[in-house]
Structure 1
Amino acid sequence: MINISHFINSFSSFISDKTIQPWEAIDNLDNILKDQLENVTADFVTTESCTIHPTAIVEQNVTFKGRIIIDEGAFIGANAYIRGPVYIGKNVKIGPGSEIKQSMIFEETAVAHFNYIGNSIIGSRVNFEAGSICANHYNERKDKEISVLFNAEIIKTGIQKFGSLVGDDSKIGANAVLSPGTILVRESIVKRLELVEQLP
């Protein structure tokens, strides 16, 4: 079993269930965000299904779809595409032209320009350089169910869309690709142009 709090300190204050698996949290993210809305302060502004703290900066031509919470001090660069359900934590920076889909990104993380993060849980103080990708689907395989490798054990998720669990203080180099089902411990370093495949 994967305890997400061992990877991301802030996770336990967001979701108290220590048994929930990363792909289960992502699969149930819309309901999780509904519950989180009960905890946001009165100064948050809600428009349709998007809830944004007034200190967050959203540049021009950003597209929001689905349920989204953007916490205080966050920055969303021009032409970004945020496809809910998505949680963007305190002081997170999403660069211009990036796409975030069905993911949680915790505080102080920086996602540079032209990145894609799909169906993933990203820890605090993680840095994604430009063009890096958290892929969430095995387009090239006949069997598209995603499995993860953890403690030398292969765990079947039972789902076809799951990206990565990236631990706190990790660094992902420019144009690197994290394959579906990638699990990175805290302070992981992925080199520029590196492909991370944990399963054959």
Structure 2
Amino acid sequence: MININDFINNFSSFNSNTYLLPWEIITNLDDLIKEKFDYLSDEYTIDGDIAVHKTAIIEQNVIMKGRIIIGENSFIGANAYLRGPIVIGKHVKIGPGSEIKQSIISDETAVAHFNYIGNSIIGSRINFEAGSICANHYNERKDKEISVLFNNQLIKTQTTKFGSLIGDDSRIGANAVLSPGTILQKESIVKRLELIEQMKIES
């Protein structure tokens, strides 16, 4: 069983149900975030479905759609595109031109410019260099259901949209691609231009 707390410290503060698998959390993320809205302090400015901490900086031409929470002292660079549901933690940096879709970005993580992160759970203190991608869909396969390989066990997610689970303190190099269903332990290093395919399934 994949326990997200083994990958991301203090993840239980976001979701205490340790039985939920990563892709189940992503699938139900909108409902999970909706519950959080009821407990946000007056330090957040709430406009419809978007809650932004008053210390966060949002640069020009940022597009935000869907339910989104942006935490304390976080920074969203110009022309970024946030497609909720999304949770962005404290002291997070999202670079110019990056796109985040249906994901959780934990505290002190930096996402450089022109990155794509889709349907993923990202730990704390992770650095994404420019142009790196967390892919969330197998466009090239006839059977698009995503499976993951964890501890030599094949797990079917029963979903066609899931990106990555990345453990704390990992480093993702420039223009690297993480294929759908990527699971990275804490302190993982992905080299520049590297393609991560933890498993291959014949279509």
TM-score range, shorter chain: over 0.9
Q: Percent identity?
A: 70
Q: Structure 2 length normalisation: TM-score? A: 0.98
Task: Give 3-state SS (helix, strand or coil) of 1:103's partner.
Answer: strand
* Stretches of structure 2 lacking an aligned partner (at least 5 in a row): none
Contact 1:10 1:124 in 2 (8 A): no
CA distance in 1, matches of 2:36, 2:190: 32
Matches within 5 A, 1:148-163: 148-163=148-163
CA distance in 1, matches of 2:30, 2:149: 26
CA distance in 2, matches of 1:114, 1:167: 22
User: Which stretch shows the higher mean deviation, 30-39 or 18-27?
Assistant: 30-39
CA distance in 1, matches of 2:120, 2:69: 15
Aligned length: 200
Matches within 5 A, 1:107-118: 107-118=107-118
1:160: how far off? 0.2
Structure 1's consecutive aligned runs of 4 or more residues displaced over 3 angstroms after TM superposition are none
Letter matched to residue 192 of structure 1:
R
1:36: how far off? 1.2
Q: Structure 1 length normalisation: TM-score? A: 0.99
In the TM superposition, what whole-angstrom CA distance separates every residue of 1:27-73 from its partner, at most 9, and x where no partner exists? 00000001111221112101121000000000000000000000100
CA distance in 2, matches of 1:144, 1:138: 5
Task: Give 3-state SS (helix, strand or coil) of 1:73's partner.
Answer: coil
Residue aligning to 1:146: 146
Residue aligning to 1:164: 164
Contact 1:80 1:95 in 2 (8 A): yes
CA distance in 2, matches of 1:68, 1:13: 17
CA distance in 2, matches of 1:106, 1:155: 25
